[in-house]
């Protein structure tokens, strides 16, 4: 009988351990990971962890968002010029540790920073967001390429899939080209 009790106790402890270790992290997505966008499958794939949609949300602070590079990738610049750009519209999720690790890998060329977002009921949430680590002053100065609510095909900028699912970040070189040489832009 006591053996059975110990087994039960161990099982119970394992269950507590399993649920207790499940950390949830709030993540705000603004680009191709949103619903209906080209990489949303990375969010929903049950093989790569769990996620819970919370709400549509908007950043409290303004950010500069571009859709650029030969692949028309949407990205937010971690601008030194705070209060430039727009309050960005996107989606707020909670993810488990496994899904967060996958997102960290997908967004490995980006920096994960802490921001505040407002949901549709005006509740403020602290959330993670992936932004480009560098600043691009010339690109940031061009307001015609700056958006507040991404969707694939915005201003004719259709997302181009990589050969492999690698979320490469454009080098600063071609970002310079991008703004000076129209012919290098593939849209």
Ligand X SMILES: *[C@@H]1O[C@H](CO)[C@@H](O)[C@H](O)[C@H]1NC(C)=O
Residues that bind ligand X (CB under 6 A): 55-56, 120, 142, 144-145, 179
Please, where are the H alpha helices in the chain? 2-20, 41-44, 97-106, 137-141, 172-180
Cα(143)–Cα(62) distance, integer angstroms: 14
Phi, psi of 156 (to 5 degrees): 75, 10
Q: Which is nearer to ligand X, 91 or 107 (CB)?
A: 91
Active site residue 107: yes
37, 91, 107, 140: the catalytic one is 107
| Nearest approach, Cβ of residue 179 and ligand X (Å) | 5
> Alpha carbon of 92 to those of 26, 43, 48, 124, 182: distances in Å?
7, 12, 18, 11, 35
| Nearest approach, Cβ of residue 90 and ligand X (Å) | 10
Cα(70)–Cα(27) distance, integer angstroms: 27
Q: Which is nearer to ligand X, 56 or 98 (CB)?
A: 56
| Nearest approach, Cβ of residue 138 and ligand X (Å) | 8
Q: Which is nearer to ligand X, 126 or 141 (CB)?
A: 141
Pairing of strands 73-77, 111-119: unpaired
- Look up tokens 């794939």; give the residue: 45
| Nearest approach, Cβ of residue 7 and ligand X (Å) | 45
CA dihedral angle for residue 81, residue 87, residue 91, residue 93, rounded to 10 degrees: 60
**Which residue from 112, 102, 106, 103 is spatially nearest to 167, judged by alpha carbons?**
106
Q: Which is nearer to ligand X, 142 or 172 (CB)?
A: 142
Residues acting as catalytic residues: 107
């Amino acid at each position: 009988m006591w053996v059975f009790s110990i087994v039960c106790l161990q099982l119970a402890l394992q269950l507590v351990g399993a649920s207790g270790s499940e950390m949830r992290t709030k993540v705000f997505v603004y680009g191709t990971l949103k619903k209906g966008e080209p990489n949303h499958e990375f969010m929903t794939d049950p093989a790569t962890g769990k996620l819970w949609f919370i709400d549509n949300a908007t950043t409290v602070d303004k950010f500069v968002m571009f859709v650029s590079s030969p692949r028309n990738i949407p990205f937010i610049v971690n601008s030194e010029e705070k209060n430039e750009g727009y309050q960005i519209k996107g989606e707020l999720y909670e993810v488990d540790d496994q899904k967060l690790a996958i997102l960290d890998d997908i967004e490995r060329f980006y920096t994960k920073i802490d921001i505040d977002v407002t949901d549709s009921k005006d509740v403020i949430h602290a959330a993670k967001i992936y932004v480009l680590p560098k600043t691009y002053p010339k690109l940031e100065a061009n307001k015609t390429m700056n958006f507040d609510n991404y969707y694939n095909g915005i201003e004719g900028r259709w997302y181009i899939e990589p050969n492999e699912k690698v979320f490469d970040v454009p080098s600063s070189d071609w970002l310079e080209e991008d703004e000076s040489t129209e012919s290098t832009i593939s849209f």
